Amino acid sequence: MPNYIRYKPDITSALFWFMKEIVLLGSTGSIGTQVLDVARLHNIKIKALSANSNVNLLADQAREYSPSFICIGDEDKYDELKRLIDDRRIKILCGKDGLCELASLACDMVVNAIVGTAGFLPTLTAIEAGNRIALANKESLVVGGEMIIAAARKKKIKIMPIDSEHSAIFQSLAGNEENRINKIILTASGGPFRGYTSEMLKRVTADQALKHPNWCMGPKITIDSATMMNKGLELIEAVWLFNVRADQVEIVVHPQSILHSAVEFDDGSVIGQLGVPDMRIPIQLALTYPKRYASCAKPLSLTDISCLTFEKPDDRVFPCMDIARSALEKGGNMPCIMNRANETAVKMFLDGKIKFFEIPEKIQWAMENVSYSKEISIDIIFETERETDEKMSRIVS
Ligand code: NAD
Ligand code: MG
């Protein structure tokens, strides 16, 4: 039997985790459930769990992990959740305030696995409360990277990336803090439409776009991967996390998703991280860093894969990467407009209201028509999101 299946946490690991407690936001999603897989394997205690609307799964998770707090984002589901939880030791919260209360609880780490802009305020709240944070919610850094990084510096908090590419970059930089980075090589699978022409993209359906070749993820990020906006968001994420310029980030299509990203240093050495495409590897490292423990992921066999290939992305067919570069260059609330417009356009596509190829068009339209502000603050972010939603709904209806 292979090692990874036989693995049970050893006594050192159990002792290491004895007092560890995490707050997990977005526990019912693709990342959230995999965080719980890691927690189950290593006996990590869960202090709090949250979900947006899936009360049944949240209640099941609460029964298994006995957290002290749970929170449901959708306030209309509060009573239903209360009926499902028959345990007075669990405090039940709801809405945005509830989420922020969870993010500021005293704990060893807050894991933010919420999808979309809803994750921004909990990220900032967790950091301002002095909590360490493991971040899957890349949108936080896209809409308010400057504020988040400033808060993390002030509180001397390291943000542990969960995104596989950023985890790979983080690992490649270990031990090289004093060395100059030439560039970051941000790898992309290319998504389900790699090699398509613009003409072919006019006919693709939501079912096709939701079939990612290598990863099983939530619907929003799966569509972002198909449009390549995911790489645009990740470029902005990398710029904030690793303090590099956008022109130092090279996006390279690597269809096998084995090299999760790499860093090129001044001497020409390229250091990268390889592994099977399984999010439980970067999730676990974010939780246990600097320790590494056996994981439930399959080991990598390079000879089984035999061939790793790399190619340039097609920016003409997939304009979202350039859109993200220009939003970042413009700065202020422009990445926030782009991010919100993307979120809304993805939802419209999944609801059958627009075609796949219209997603970048709608984003560009929003970037030209929503009020621009050079300044950024929490109020500006919320106002930008409100205006983007309102204008986007008008052009589609
Ligand atoms: P998902 O849709 O599967 O899960 C999202 C979670 O967020 C759910 O628990 C949901 O209840 C919660 N949520 C949604 N809207 C909310 C709201 N308005 N308020 C509070 N909670 C809300 O998404 P996912 O694929 O797990 O992705 C989560 C984040 O991780 C995203 O930012 C994504 O880009 C990032 N990420 C995901 C993967 C992956 O493999 N899935 C990989 C890298 C990064
Ligand atoms: Mg990624």
pLDDT tens figures, 165-206: 999 999 999 999 889 999 999 999 999 999 999 999 999 999
Residue that the structure tokens 């929490």 belong to:
378
Give percent above pLDDT 70 in the chain.
95
Paired with 259 in beta bridges are 274
Whether the CB of 218 sits within 6 Å of ligand 1 = yes
Contact present, 22 and 131 (Cβ < 8 Å)? no
| Pairing of the two strands 45-51 and 270-274 | unpaired
Q: What does the CA dihedral 79, 85, 89, 92 come to, rounded to 10 degrees?
A: -30
| Protein residue whose Cα sits closest to atom 9 of ligand 1 | 26
Per the model's pLDDT, the better-predicted residue between 393 and 14 turns out to be 393
Whether the CB of 77 sits within 6 Å of ligand 1 = no
CA of 220 relative to ligand 2 center, distance in Å: 13
Contact present, 137 and 119 (Cβ < 8 Å)? yes
11-25, 220-234, 327-341: least confident range? 11-25
Whether the CB of 114 sits within 6 Å of ligand 1 = yes
Residue that the structure tokens 């949240």 belong to:
58
CA of 30 relative to ligand 1 center, distance in Å: 7
Report whether pLDDT(4) > 70.
Answer: no
Q: What is the pLDDT of residues 249-279, one digit of tens each?
A: 999 999 999 999 999 999 999 999 999 999 9
Contact present, 203 and 298 (Cβ < 8 Å)? no
Report whether pLDDT(302) > 60.
Answer: yes
| Pairing of the two strands 259-265 and 181-188 | antiparallel
CA of 218 relative to ligand 1 center, distance in Å: 6
**What HEC string does 84-126 produce?**
HCCCCCCEEEEHHHHHHHHHCCCCCEEEECCCCHHHHHHHHHH
CA distance 251 to 255: 12
CA of 218 relative to ligand 2 center, distance in Å: 12
| Protein residue whose Cα sits closest to atom 27 of ligand 1 | 115
Question: How many Å separate Cα 62 from the centre of its chain?
Answer: 23
- Nearest CA-CA partner of 20 in 38, 8, 32: 38
Whether the CB of 221 sits within 6 Å of ligand 1 = yes
Burial class for 5, CB neighbours closer than 10 Å (0-12, 13-18, 19+): exposed
Question: How many Å separate Cα 310 from the centre of its chain?
Answer: 24
Mean pLDDT score across all residues of the chain? 94
**Length of the chain as a residue count:** 397
Report whether pLDDT(367) > 90.
Answer: yes
CA distance 317 to 199: 9
Burial class for 124, CB neighbours closer than 10 Å (0-12, 13-18, 19+): buried
Whether the CB of 31 sits within 6 Å of ligand 1 = yes
| Pairing of the two strands 249-253 and 181-188 | parallel
pLDDT band at 283 (very low <50, low <70, confident <90, very high): very high
Q: What is the pLDDT of residues 58-105, one digit of tens each?
A: 999 999 999 999 999 999 999 999 999 988 899 999 999 999 999 999
pTM of the model: 0.95
| Protein residue whose Cα sits closest to atom 36 of ligand 1 | 136
Instruction: Provide the token pair at 332.
Output: 């202020």
CA distance 46 to 90: 12
CA distance 286 to 222: 22
pLDDT for the residue 13:
52
Whether the CB of 112 sits within 6 Å of ligand 1 = no
Question: How many Å separate Cα 84 from the centre of its chain?
Answer: 29
Q: What is the pLDDT of residues 16-59, one digit of tens each?
A: 554 589 999 999 999 999 999 999 999 999 999 999 999 999 99
For ligand 1, mutation pick of 27, 215, 221, 224 (most atoms within 8 Å of CB): 221
Compute the average pLDDT of residues 297-309: 96
Whether the CB of 118 sits within 6 Å of ligand 1 = yes
Contact present, 395 and 346 (Cβ < 8 Å)? no
Whether the CB of 121 sits within 6 Å of ligand 1 = no
**Residues lining ligand 2 (ion), CB within 5 A?**
163, 165
Whether the CB of 52 sits within 6 Å of ligand 1 = yes
In whole angstroms, how far apart are CA 397 and each of 309, 338, 393? 43, 20, 6
Classified as helix, coil or strand, 28 is coil
Give percent above pLDDT 90 in the chain.
91
Contact present, 294 and 312 (Cβ < 8 Å)? no
Compute the average pLDDT of residues 128-137: 98
Contact present, 393 and 362 (Cβ < 8 Å)? no
| Protein residue whose Cα sits closest to atom 42 of ligand 1 | 163
83-92, 114-123, 338-347: least confident range? 83-92
| Protein residue whose Cα sits closest to atom 41 of ligand 1 | 217
Classified as helix, coil or strand, 70 is strand
User: Which ligand is closest in space to the CA of residue 122?
Assistant: 1
Residue 136 CA: nearest ligand 1 atom is: 30
pLDDT for the residue 396:
79
Classified as helix, coil or strand, 365 is helix
